């Protein structure tokens, strides 16, 4: 019953191949960076045609367990965070999750990220964050760029926390939530400036290595975002039209 142990009927050859290689990776027989044999050879090893083998490979590729730096080289790899985030965002968008759902989670993740960043971020990273913030301020008016930089700002903080689990968990969520910016700003003119201010305060707290203050301002930042959504009457609205993710 456990979601991780379901040796369900995987009778199809291409699934068996994907499963077998996956098992070898998880078992450690194949380590990230290892190069796999050519398709013909692999096909022989598994006793199938190249066509069948390729279908299996496509699946592994899509799972992020192998990838091709160049068409000629097929190597084992650990799933990339960005790839996982995209998949997750897409899933949530298709589920038509609401601003409420996103906010409820983000109001926990971002403050945690800020707290961890205060503890583990390097001076250099804080400096870079300052630069990013300056760019964000300078981008006033350009909505697309603002959203992009805003997302980067938050992600950068999360990275500073040295917690990859948090990184994986929050990225797809933040990705969706911050896109909602566009829908909120028109309803709350002052909103934009308050966001900038909050960023400044988080930045300041990080510089002082004040975890509590960083956490507090991050929380206020998100709560403010949520209030903006409420003002705009978007609480239970779909956060993002899936088509925006194309």
The site for a copy of itself (CB under 8 A) is made up of 1-5, 14, 22-23, 25-28, 32, 51, 54-56, 58-59, 61-64, 78-79, 82, 84-95, 97, 100-102, 104-105, 108-109, 112, 116, 148, 151, 163-166, 168-170, 172-173, 175, 242-246
Q: Which does 92 bind (CB under 5 to 8 A by kind): a copy of itself, DNA, none?
A: a copy of itself
Report the alpha-carbon distance of residue 109 to residue 105 in Å, rounded: 6
- Token pair of 187 as six digits: 């309803």
CB of 61 to DNA, least distance (A): 9
Give the C-alpha distances (Å, rounded to integers) separating 54 from 13, 19, 26, 51, 61: 11, 13, 20, 5, 10
Q: Which residues, other chains included, contact 23 with Cβ-Cβ below 8 Å and sequence gap of 6+?
A: none
CB of 14 to DNA, least distance (A): 4
Q: b or e along 49-60 (b: 16 or more beta carbons within 10 Å of the residue's beta carbon)?
A: eeebbbbbbebb
Binding mask 46-85 for DNA (x = CB under 7 A): -xxxxxx-xx------------x-xxxxx-----------
Q: Which does 21 bind (CB under 5 to 8 A by kind): a copy of itself, DNA, none?
A: none
Q: Which does 146 bind (CB under 5 to 8 A by kind): DNA, a copy of itself, none?
A: none
CB of 29 to DNA, least distance (A): 19
Q: Which residues, other chains included, contact 229 with Cβ-Cβ below 8 Å and sequence gap of 6+?
A: 99, 100, 103, 180, 184, 235
Q: Which residues, other chains included, contact 108 with Cβ-Cβ below 8 Å and sequence gap of 6+?
A: none
Distance of alpha carbon 197 from the chain centroid: 25
Q: Which does 74 bind (CB under 5 to 8 A by kind): DNA, a copy of itself, none?
A: DNA
Q: Which of residues 2-41 bind DNA (CB under 7 A)?
A: 11-14, 38-41
Q: Which does 202 bind (CB under 5 to 8 A by kind): a copy of itself, DNA, none?
A: none
Length of the chain in residues, anyone? 246
Q: Which does 102 bind (CB under 5 to 8 A by kind): DNA, a copy of itself, none?
A: a copy of itself
Beta strands in the chain (DSSP E): 66-70, 73-76
Nearer to DNA, 76 or 169 (CB): 76
Residues 219, 222, 224, CA angle at the centre, nearest 5°? 105
Instruction: Using CB under 7 A, list all residues that contact DNA.
Output: 11-14, 38-41, 47-52, 54-55, 68, 70-74
């Amino acid at each position: 019953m456990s979601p991780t142990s379901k040796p369900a009927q995987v009778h199809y050859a291409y699934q068996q191949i994907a499963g077998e290689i996956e098992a070898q990776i998880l078992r450690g027989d194949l380590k990230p960076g290892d190069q796999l044999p050519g398709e013909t050879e692999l096909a022989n090893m598994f006793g199938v045609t190249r066509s069948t083998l390729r279908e299996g490979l496509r699946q592994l590729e899509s799972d992020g367990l192998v990838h091709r730096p160049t068409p000629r080289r097929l190597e084992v790899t650990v799933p990339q965070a960005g790839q996982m985030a995209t998949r997750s965002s897409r899933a949530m968008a298709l589920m038509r999750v609401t601003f409420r759902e996103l906010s409820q989670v983000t109001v926990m993740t971002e403050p945690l990220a800020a707290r961890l960043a205060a503890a583990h971020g390097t001076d250099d990273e804080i400096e870079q964050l300052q630069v990013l913030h300056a760019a964000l301020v300078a981008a006033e008016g350009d909505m697309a760029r603002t959203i992009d930089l805003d997302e980067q700002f938050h992600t950068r903080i999360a990275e500073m926390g040295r917690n990859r689990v948090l990184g994986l968990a929050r990225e797809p969520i933040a990705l969706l939530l911050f896109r909602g910016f566009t829908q909120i700003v028109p309803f709350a003119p002052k909103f934009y400036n308050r966001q900038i201010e909050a960023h400044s305060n988080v930045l300041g707290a990080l510089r002082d290595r004040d975890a509590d203050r960083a956490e507090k301002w991050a929380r206020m930042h998100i709560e403010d975002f949520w209030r903006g959504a409420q003002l705009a009457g978007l609480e239970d609205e779909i956060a993002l039209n899936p088509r925006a993710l194309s």
